[in-house]
Structures are given as structure tokens and as C-alpha cells.
Chains A and B, each alone.
Chain A
Amino acid sequence: MADHITLQVTRYRPEQEAEPSVQEYEVPLRKDWAVLDGLNHVKDHLDGTLSYRWSCRMGICGSCGMTVNGEPKLTCATFLSDYAPGPVRVEPLRNFPVIRDLVVEIGDFMRKLVKVKPWIVREEERPLSAGEYLQTPAEMDEYKQFSMCINCMLCYSACPVYGLDPHFIGPAAIALAQRYNLDSRDQGSAERLDVLSEHDGVWGCTFVGECTRACPKDVDPAGAIQRYKVTAAMEAVKSFLMPRGAR
């Protein structure tokens, strides 16, 4: 294995340029190094002006999502040796506005997150003195997978619908809504129905399936969305056959 590899990194300095450009850096190719280690080498030793987000470097905080050779990846969990001999193209996550270099703007997602009411909704709060809500391991399995989302947004980056129409509420938001809908302790499905069954809600999804492929935590947002389409369709039928008063 060669001992160096070239990173072709997108740069964008809004005060200096109107369009992004590409800058090449040569970094050591060590078998344990992730793409993130390469970027850190650039920042520490070659070019201190490169900006990017990172934190935990163990694939749990969701900060370091970028586009590596055209695919949305967590750079802390993507290894340089898999791209040898290189070069490796490192770009900001697609489908988001770029603030600077490899840093994208995720405010849109943060606002959508609130819209799906991602918290336990109860008609009546259980007092602490009554102890925990009982939830069997089988009941937890119903939503467990959807609770694993680290909000890394690789799914939004992979989704062509979101790329073409940023109003689409998106995979992670729907998966999170499902996480609560399917939680036996929650009673808020009806409240989430309105937001999710909008035109830009689940019905915006055309089941491309790329979100599930991109997800580093096996959340399967595509599955969450399609299952919700079934739920939403049944609710529509029910409300047609049995108007609200009768139910």
C-alpha cells in the first residue's frame, strides 16, 4: 500500500469567492485512518483554514457527514484504505446549502423535527408514584430500530425528492415520528397524522429507497415511511367510512 493518498476537498470561502472550488491535499495513508483523520491532518499540518464539523469520531454524534466519492458518509467511520490508491473526493453533504467549505446548513431539518412532535404525547400524564410504564421487550422492538437515528442527515443527502423539493419533510423526521407513533407509551398518533399526511409529508416520498441505503445506523427510514403510508391510508378510509362523531 502506498504511504500517501490525495484528498480533493471542496473549498468555499463566501467572503472571497462566489462558487466553490477544489483543493488537493496529500495526506498519509495509514490503515487505521478514517477520512476524518485525513482531514484533521490537513487542518493541523497543511492548511488550518479548512472548516468542517466533527466531534465524537465514533459514529454516534452525527456531526461529520460529508459526501465522499459521491456518496453520503460519516467521515469518522469511512476508512481511507478503502479508497486506496485514491484520490478521494470530499465534498459537503448534498441537498443542503453550504455555509463554508464542508459545513452545511441544517436549520431546515431542525425546524421539521419540531413539526412531527417528537415527544411522548399522553392524554393524561402518569404520576411518578405509579412507577414506569410497563413495556415488554417485544413492545420495544416495535419502535427500537427507529429510535437509533443520530440525526446525521445522510438520508436527506441521499434522497432525490428532498434534493428536488426541499419542502419534503424528509426521511429522518418521518422515522422519528414513527418512533413515537409505535411506542406503546405514546398516544399522539392522531396529532402527528395531520403533519405527516400533508402533501409534503409521507406522500412526497416515491420510495426511491436511497435513504435506507445511506443510513449508517440501520434505521430503515424508507420502511418507516412506507409503513406510515399504509397507516395514513387506513386512517383516511376510516374517517371516510366512519365520520369522526361515530368513532
Chain B
Amino acid sequence: MTASHDVVIVGGGGAGLRAAIAIAETNPRLSVAIVSKVYPMRSHTVSAEGGAAAVIAPDDSLDEHANDTVSGGDWLCDQDAVEAFVNEAPQELLRLEHWGCPWSRQPDGHIAVRAFGGMKKRRTWFAADKTGFHMLHTLFQTSLQHEHVVRYDEWFVTKLLVDDGRVRGVVAIELMTGRIETITANAVILCTGGCGRVYPFTTNANIKTGDGMALAYRAGAPLKDMEFVQYHPTGLPFTGILITEAARAEGGWLLNKDGYRYLQDYDLGVPEPTPVLKSMELGPRDRLSQAFVHEVEKGRTVETPYGQVVHLDLRHLGAAVINTKLPFVRELCLDYEKIDPVREMIPVRPVVHYMMGGVHTDLDGATGLDGLYAAGEVACVSINGANRLGSNSLPELLVFGARAGKAAAEYASSPSDPSPAVLAQAREETQRLERELLNQTGGREPISTIRTEMQDTMEENVGIYRAGDSLGKAASRIRELQERFRSAAIEDHSRTFNTQLTAALELACMLDVAEGIVHCASARAESRGAHQRTDFPARDDQRFLAHSLIYRDPDGPPRVEYLPVTITRWPPGERIYGR
């Protein structure tokens, strides 16, 4: 059975919904479908807390936002993309306000902005500390106006159909009934988010398994900068739940076991009683997470049953500030740590949070394959470079979601019929799914065992600090796990909402993505931003002021190439924080 649309968007989060609205508004005659493995309001955009950055204050400028972003990214950002991004972000956030997003306000009714890590000026718009939640619900509810946008809720895309270098559609499973459908399209936009679940300890939801990255990778599109994995400095131990950077922006301190604000030892500035922009706790995330690792080595962190932690102290902010600006943080600490941040310090540690890398795209979301676009965390444009600044990823969803939507719409306006080769591919995929997964018996290993081993391998060898030999070990481990996956046990043969099947599909995606991360990390013999090599501790602009592009090879190890970074106005310099 086949359905057909002009544009198919895979993923219904911030980027996917923004793309759909962009197409519906600019090309209402096009048939648009959003195919998502969860209902859109469950997408992981919903968990974002801190805010979205865009220049609106009179003393701020686009150049400063761009400069902060480029230096925050350790000069691996494509500066033409950053310039477009900072230019369009204010309009996008304003558009969202017009659509009803409840941005927090100043007393006179204008939009309020706050400080955020790595930014020299206050430019982060926020909706209390549930910015992602409000943005996602605003986008979703606004998208409901466009009745002709078709949604396939709880449909899992398993393959991109490619014919002659051009993407022609997808194969997807309707989770409720288990039926496998072919949905042909003239353009496909991937908006499936990141892959934090490749690691054992992450802020990411269960659904963040790198599906879109794997789909593109398998279809022949290159992934870019996969080695750059962001560890957010403040996640709750055990659950990994995110404690937003806004807590530090409002004035929170990071203390080690001696009650000492240890960041001052790491060239991040001098401690002041109130937060100083781009200094100390408002430094960039990669440097803060790296400082934590050093504190552990020095034995100055606190031991807990869930590992080493440091303390985030918000007590001096007072209940009034915490209740107005950080109510969700308070709720999370009370529920999950049984701690009231008004009276006690919060135990935190670095936790995998964001993938700077992803499917290689240009400024309009076009990937290495014709007809395939990508936007949001799944994509790597790159505006985040080697390290993303907090509050840049929410506007990224809107700016590049809209761009990819419009570009895909334009491409899809010159349609052509799918060839028989495409339909044959779809049939093959359907048979593969049935044979290898749905009807498979005799598998031996539980999916959870393979998944846990993958996660442990990644955390041990591809964490905040990496080294050549352990990366090599990790690569062969991942290879071995991919082999073992072929005999993973699938006991659930039901066609009705089979979540063991989806777990298997997701694990396959994660293993492919893990391969990409490990090989890129192995190839980059320098330290930059979030990729730190103990065997190559310095930044090497001579050889590595370039993006890693990784191409899948079905018969052997993947191939890594380099693409120079686009530098326009900001030549590489030193990243300075706190001075």
C-alpha cells in the first residue's frame, strides 16, 4: 500500500512543526505530511527549559551574538550560517510570540531577556523555565489551524527510499496496527532530533535515538562533526534530568565538596557575588564539564551512590526568585531528589545533552542527497561548531525548520513520479522488516544487554576526555555489537503496538550513530570545544579547522573526509571567558 505527498517531514518536534507551518503558509497547495513516532506534543523539544536567544535589547547587536556563537563553538561554526541564524532568530521568536507563545515579560509588557552561558549580553528570551514546552505547544497548536497538513502520529520511519541519488519517500510502520506502508514524496525533511540515548546518562528522553541521522547515513548522506557531543554541566544524578542553565544565569553557584567555587581555577574568571556574563558559572558548557572532570581527578567532588557530584547552590537567590524564575527547577528537585533548592544544595554532574553533529546540511537544510533536507538537532549546518551555547538550539529549530521547509517546498514543486525501482526498494524493506524482526525467532541476546554495553562503551571511551587507543577499542566494540545485534532476541511478534520492535529499530539506529561518533572522534587528532583528546591536547587550526564528514561503507569501516569551515568575519582566536 502506498500514500503520496509532496513533502514528508519525519519528526514532529519544534523543527518539524515549524517546517510544516512554513510550507503550509507559503505553498498551501502542496500536500504536506508529518510522520512522527510519537504524538507531536511528546517530542523532546518539550523538555527544553532555559530559553531562546535572539537580539532585541537596544545595547545588543547581531555581530555580538554571532561572535559569542562563533567563539563559543571554538571557531568550528560556519560563519555564513551563523550570520543568517542571528539575523533571522529575532523574527522567528517574534513570530512565535504572535502565535501565542507566552514569553516572560518585563513590567511594561515588553519581552524580557536574561543572561545565559557564553553570551556577553542578555539576549535569551524565556517562558519561565519551560521555554521548550511553551514553544512546542504553541507550534503544535498553531499547526492545527492548517487542516490540510496530514499527520501520521505514531508511525515509525524505517528507511529512506533513494533512486538515482534522489530521495523519493519513506517506508514507515504504523505502530498501532503494525502495517508497513510506503509514503512517496518529492522531498523529505528529517527533523528527528539528536541521539543522547547512545550514552547511559543523558538529559534526553527515551525517544532520542538518532533515527534520522541513521536513516540519512544509511541512504548515503554524510554526517558531520559527529565527535562533538555536549555534556551539560548540571544534570541530576541517577535520572540525568536537566537542571537548566538558567539556574546559573539567575545567580547559582557551582561548589565542590569544600564549598569552593572551583570554576575560578580553570581560567573562567573571578568569583563575584552576582553573575557576570561570560564568566565563571556563565562560561561555556564544554569548559564547565571539563572542569568537573578535573575536580574528580583532584578528589574534590562529593561521593554519592550514583557517582561523583558537585553542588549547585541556589539558596542565596531566595524563594521569591526561585518561584518566579525557576519554578520547574524547584518542582524537579523536590520530586526527583527530595530536595528543596530554596534550603538545600542540588547535587549535579555533567550529563550528555546535545549533539552538535548530525546530518550535513547547507544553510537551507539541503543534505548531500537530492530531495533530502534536515533541520534541528538532527542536522549540522553548522552554527554550533564544536560546542553549542545554551539557548541557541531553540531558535535554531525555528530558523532552519523554516528554511528547510521553504527549500523543500520549492524543490517539491517540480515533482516527478517515483520509478519502479523505488517501489521495489519499498517492497524489499517491508520483507526485511518482516523477516528480520517481526517473524524472527531464535534470537539469543536481550536488546537491553546490547544497548547497555553500547552505552557503557561510549561513556568510557568517548566521553568528555578521549584518547586514541580507547577510541580504537570503542570502534571495534561497536562493530562487535552491530554483529551481536543481528541475533538480538525479539520475543514480541505482535503487530499491535510492538515496542520491542521499536526498541530494536532504535538500537540499530543508535549503533550506526555510535559508529559515526567513534570514527570521527578517532580521526580528529586535536582538542577543540567538546572534543578533548588527552593525546592531542591542543587545538590545531592548520589541519583541523574543518568539519569531519563521515560516509557509511556497507563493506567496511566508514570513511572520514574533511570540509573546511566557512570563515567570513571572525578569524580563529582564543576563547576568553572571565577576563
Consider the complex of A and B and state whether they touch directly, i.e. have CB atoms less than 8 Å apart: yes
Alpha-carbon distance between A101 and B103 when the two chains are bound, in angstroms = 39
Partner of A100, one of B147, B446, B494: B494
**Chain B neighbourhood of A61, CB < 8 A:** 41-44, 46-47, 205
Contact between B205 and A57 (Cβ–Cβ < 8 Å)? yes
B203 (CB) vs chain A CBs: closest residue: A58
Contact between A100 and B497 (Cβ–Cβ < 8 Å)? yes
Contact between A137 and B47 (Cβ–Cβ < 8 Å)? no
Closest-CB distance, A31 to chain B (whole angstroms): 9
**Chain B neighbourhood of A52, CB < 8 A:** 499
Contact between B448 and A147 (Cβ–Cβ < 8 Å)? no
Size of the A side of the interface (Cβ < 8 Å), in residues, is 60
B91 (CB) vs chain A CBs: closest residue: A128
What is the predominant secondary structure among interface residues of chain B facing chain A? Answer: loop
Contact between A136 and B107 (Cβ–Cβ < 8 Å)? yes
**Chain A neighbourhood of B43, CB < 8 A:** 61
Contact between B497 and A103 (Cβ–Cβ < 8 Å)? yes
B491 within 8 A of A: yes
Alpha-carbon distance between A49 and B498 when the two chains are bound, in angstroms = 8
B465 within 8 A of A: no
Contacts A58-B332, A120-B98 given; does A51 touch B144 at CB 8 Å: no
Contacts A45-B448, A125-B98, A134-B110 given; does A62 touch B42 at CB 8 Å: yes
Interface flags for B381-405 (1: CB within 8 Å of A; 0: not) read 0000000000000000000000000
A180 within 8 A of B: yes
| Contact residues on B (Cβ < 8 Å of other chain), bracket | 35 or more
Contacts A57-B239, A99-B497, A144-B102 given; does A132 touch B332 at CB 8 Å: no
Q: Tell me the A114-162 residues at the B interface (CB within 8 Å).
A: 114, 117-120, 125-126, 128, 131-137, 139-140, 143-144, 147-148, 150-151
**Chain A neighbourhood of B332, CB < 8 A:** 58-59
Closest-CB distance, A104 to chain B (whole angstroms): 10
A77 within 8 A of B: yes
Contacts A56-B44, A99-B176, A134-B108 given; does A119 touch B498 at CB 8 Å: no
Contact between B42 and A13 (Cβ–Cβ < 8 Å)? no
Interface flags for B224-242 (1: CB within 8 Å of A; 0: not) read 0000000000000011011
Partner of B102, one of A43, A103, A140: A140
A183 within 8 A of B: yes
A237 within 8 A of B: no
Contacts A58-B241, A61-B46 given; does A132 touch B495 at CB 8 Å: no
Alpha-carbon distance between A51 and B501 when the two chains are bound, in angstroms = 10
**Chain A neighbourhood of B98, CB < 8 A:** 120, 125-126, 128, 132-133, 185
Contacts A54-B206, A60-B133, A119-B141 given; does A150 touch B446 at CB 8 Å: no
B470 within 8 A of A: no
Partner of B100, one of A13, A59, A101, A186: A186
Contact between B91 and A48 (Cβ–Cβ < 8 Å)? no
Alpha-carbon distance between A105 and B497 when the two chains are bound, in angstroms = 11
Contact between B491 and A58 (Cβ–Cβ < 8 Å)? no
Among the interface residues B104, B144, B503, which one has the most CB atoms of the partner chain A within 10 A? B144
Q: Tell me the A85-108 residues at the B interface (CB within 8 Å).
A: 99-101, 103, 105-106
A208 within 8 A of B: no
A26 within 8 A of B: no
Among the interface residues B91, B94, B98, which one has the most CB atoms of the partner chain A within 10 A? B98
Among the interface residues B47, B104, B142, which one has the most CB atoms of the partner chain A within 10 A? B47
Q: Tell me the B471-495 residues at the A interface (CB within 8 Å).
A: 489-492, 494-495
Contact between B95 and A59 (Cβ–Cβ < 8 Å)? no
Partner of B38, one of A32, A63, A133, A143: A63
Interface flags for A173-213 (1: CB within 8 Å of B; 0: not) read 00010001001011000000000000000000000000000
**Chain A neighbourhood of B99, CB < 8 A:** 119-120
Contact between B109 and A136 (Cβ–Cβ < 8 Å)? yes
B416 within 8 A of A: no
Contact between A60 and B489 (Cβ–Cβ < 8 Å)? no
Alpha-carbon distance between A128 and B91 when the two chains are bound, in angstroms = 7
**Chain B neighbourhood of A186, CB < 8 A:** 100
B60 within 8 A of A: no
Contact between A140 and B100 (Cβ–Cβ < 8 Å)? no
- 8 tightest A-B CB contacts, nearest first: A134-B109, A44-B448, A49-B492, A100-B497, A55-B205, A120-B100, A118-B141, A56-B205
**Which residues of A are interface residues toward B (Cβ below 8 A)?**
13-15, 32, 43-45, 48-63, 77, 99-101, 103, 105-106, 110, 113-114, 117-120, 125-126, 128, 131-137, 139-140, 143-144, 147-148, 150-151, 176, 180, 183, 185-186
**Which residues of B are interface residues toward A (Cβ below 8 A)?**
38-39, 41-44, 46-47, 91, 94-95, 97-100, 102-105, 107-111, 130, 133-134, 137, 141-142, 144-145, 147, 153, 176, 205-207, 238-239, 241-242, 331-332, 335-336, 446-448, 489-492, 494-500, 503
18 inter-chain pairs at a CB distance below 8 angstroms, sorted by A residue, are: A43-B499, A53-B38, A54-B206, A55-B44, A55-B205, A55-B207, A56-B205, A99-B497, A100-B496, A117-B145, A128-B91, A134-B109, A136-B108, A140-B102, A148-B130, A183-B100, A185-B98, A186-B100
